[in-house]
Amino acid sequence: MFWISLLVLAAGCGALLFRQVGAALIALGMGLALLVLASFSLVPTRNVGIVTEFSKPTNRTTGAGLKWHAPWQGIDDWDASRNTFDRLGKNCLWVSVSGGRACIAVQVEWSAKAEHAPEDWAAYKEVDGIDGGRFGTFVARRVTPQMDAAITTAFTTFNPLGQIDAKTGALKAPDLNKEYRDALAGTLQANLGQSITVDSIAFGTPTYDEPTTKAISAFGQKTLEARNLEVDKANALTRAAITKTDASVDQVARCLQIAEKLGKEPGLCMGAGVTTTRPVG
């Protein structure tokens, strides 16, 4: 609009040279109006305004609202609101884990830093096929790849078989928020901390591809079988100990003890070849 206003003003000056006063006044009035309009820009709520001069950043920023600037300057928007990196549900991220592949469900809320907005604005140009102008390019070419890479790296040591319950052989839902949230936040801070602030990270339950799922099921079955064998072994040892104890006890003495306790006649305990351990009568 600045260049248009200059052209209209130039046309008005030209009309004055040819003594076309009426046309000159109209052109000059329109040129001045356009010049005033070119001096104002509206920055949307929760956005940062990047002040540019002939399409180059001036390292000045503005807040939201109607802002005045020199007519040869402009203000481009930079989204400073809370944005969402969504890898939940069908958008989960497939990564290689220990012994297979898992789809990690995670949502990261983040916001761009206003103080670094001019540098980021200058570093990324508008690209055909990417919505959102320069900010959209910044998200598509920097933020999203860095977050994907951080998650992929963080889960290389994740072991799905380690989530099997040792007693039941069932697959437990891992607490990824407890195990990985702080580590992921630290990696994102190191890689993107100049440009964005990570506001929150929330993990969902991971899913697994078919080979990994089969391996988990087989391992769970083996774990349950091993647990059952341990229980059977313990029961067998207990039965053997009881049998050994019973064999070492004098049956007559035991019969007399029971007869005395129950107030029964002990005579039947004294017969030859007594094998009962309880008096009759």
Distance, CA of 134 to CA of 16 (rounded, Å): 43
Distance, CA of 148 to CA of 95 (rounded, Å): 9
Q: Does 227 map to a domain?
A: no
pLDDT tens string 180-235 = 999 999 999 999 999 999 999 999 999 999 988 887 777 656 655 566 566 657 66
Buried b (16+ CB within 10 A) or exposed e, 129-161: ebeebbbbbbbbebbeebbeebbeebbeebebb
Q: Are 49 and 75 in contact (CB under 8 A)?
A: yes
Structure tokens at 170: 């069932």
Total domains, the chain: 3
Instruction: Clarify whether residues 164 and 133 are in a common domain.
Output: yes
Instruction: Clarify whether residues 169 and 114 are in a common domain.
Output: yes
Distance, CA of 11 to CA of 2 (rounded, Å): 14
Distance, CA of 12 to CA of 31 (rounded, Å): 8
Instruction: Clarify whether residues 50 and 129 are in a common domain.
Output: no
Domain range for 190 is 82-218
- Continuous segment of H or E residues that includes residue 201: strand 196-203
Q: Which of 33, 49, 79 is the last residue of a domain?
A: 79
pLDDT tens string 58-117 = 778 776 767 666 676 677 888 989 999 999 999 999 999 987 899 999 999 999 998 899
